[in-house]
Structure 1
Amino acid sequence: MMSTTRIRDLLGLAAFAAIATWLLVRAFYGSLPPIPLFAGASLYPVAAIEVGVAFMIRSRVRGHQLGQGPRQLHPITAARAVALAKASALVGAASSGVWLGLLLYLLPQRSTVQAASDDTAGTVVGLVAGVALVAAALWLEHCCKAPEEPPDEPAL
């Protein structure tokens, strides 16, 4: 049985990525190209698709439509969705950390460096996209849980 994704693992990955990015950006910011507004927006469609898949899986699980027949959720499909959710949560946490590290460098520089001010909006878009992907992935993983079986009634 696969364990659920732990929030502290995702936070640890995000913190590591944020610190590493902050250190790198601190050393090399002057040589980086400008950050476009939608640089990190590619994660939004992935998050939206995962939310849609999560609602579809949740309705099938709640309706006990599990199995190999038509209009049923195949167990392998659910397992693949869990694997996708786990991978997406890691990608979202890492990218959130990268965007956060960049943002932590940019915010104090905004008043003195015009490029830092210009790059802030794109960085916030990327950070929110990473967080949205983590949230969507955790929701998808939650929706893939098998329904609780009621305990067997003891024979009288």
Structure 2
Amino acid sequence: MGLTRWRDLAVVALIAAILAFGLLLWNYNRLPALPRLAGLPAALIGIGEAIFGWGLYRRIRANSGAAPGPGGSEQPRIGVAGQSGPDEVDPLTVARAVTIAKASALAAAAFGGLWIGTLCYVWPRAGDVAAAAGDRATALIGLLGAAVMLAGALWLERSCRTPPDQGQGPSRA
């Protein structure tokens, strides 16, 4: 399984943006005002994934035989080979984390596309329609929340990679 590709995320975001713009073009006057903090749950999910990713990253590095040294360089750990500690990472946990990260990245791309489509519709109308001015701020907050969610998901996915062995490139989870 490879890392999430940017072009896949871009395609999802583009499709979502086109659908959102079309829906708003057809039905904007019938929709209620968008909740101002609608993008906040996505941001909270992204922050949670980033925190979980950081913990998983540190546990994987600690169990790989190398620990981050001063300045972030990898240094060999001193210990008895084959001993498992309380920080041992279950491979199934890593597989689940990668699955969650990939799904969250696609969801964040879809949310981002929806907010981009909303922005494309309301931005030019913000001077003429009062609701569009409020929805513009909501869409900007939503887009920021989607970006935080995407960053958290991509960090979680990359945290699941094992460090490279001597002379090899990084392996993928």
Structure 1 portions without partners, runs of 5+? none
Q: Cα deviation per residue 1:69-122 (whole Å; 9 max; x = unaligned)? A: 522111111111100100000100001000110011000001111110111111
Higher normalized helix content (fraction of residues): 1
Distance in 1, matches of 2:61 and 2:162, equals 9
Match of 1:20 in 2: 19
Give the C-alpha shift of residue 151 in structure 1. Answer: 4.4
Using a 3 Å threshold, how does the CA distance of structure 1 residues 17 and 98 change in structure 2: closer, same or farther? same
Determine the C-alpha separation between the residues in 1 that align with 2:37 and 2:167: 51
CA contact (8 A) 1:68 1:74 kept: no
Corresponding residue of 1:120: 136
Alignment of 1:104-115 (within 5 A): 104-115=120-131
Q: 5+ residue gaps in structure 2?
A: 66-82, 169-173
Moved over 3 A (4+): 65-69
Q: What is the CA deviation profile of residues 110-156 of structure 1, one whole-angstrom value per residue up to 9, with x for unaligned ones?
A: 1111110111111111111111111111111111012212249xxxx
Change (3 A) 1:68 1:98: farther
> Which residue is 2:75 aligned to?
none
> Aligned equivalents of 2:14 and 2:148: distance in 1?
17
What's the % identity of the aligned pairs?
A: 38
Whether the aligned pair in 1 keeps the contact of 2:44 and 2:149 (CA below 8 Å) is no
* Residue 77 of structure 2: aligned partner: none
User: Number of aligned pairs?
Assistant: 151
TM-score by length of 1: 0.91
Q: Is the 8 A contact 2:115 2:143 kept in 1?
A: yes
Q: Which amino acid aligns with 1:121?
A: A
Task: State the AA in 1 paired with 2:61.
Answer: R
| TM-score, normalised by the number of residues in structure 2 | 0.82
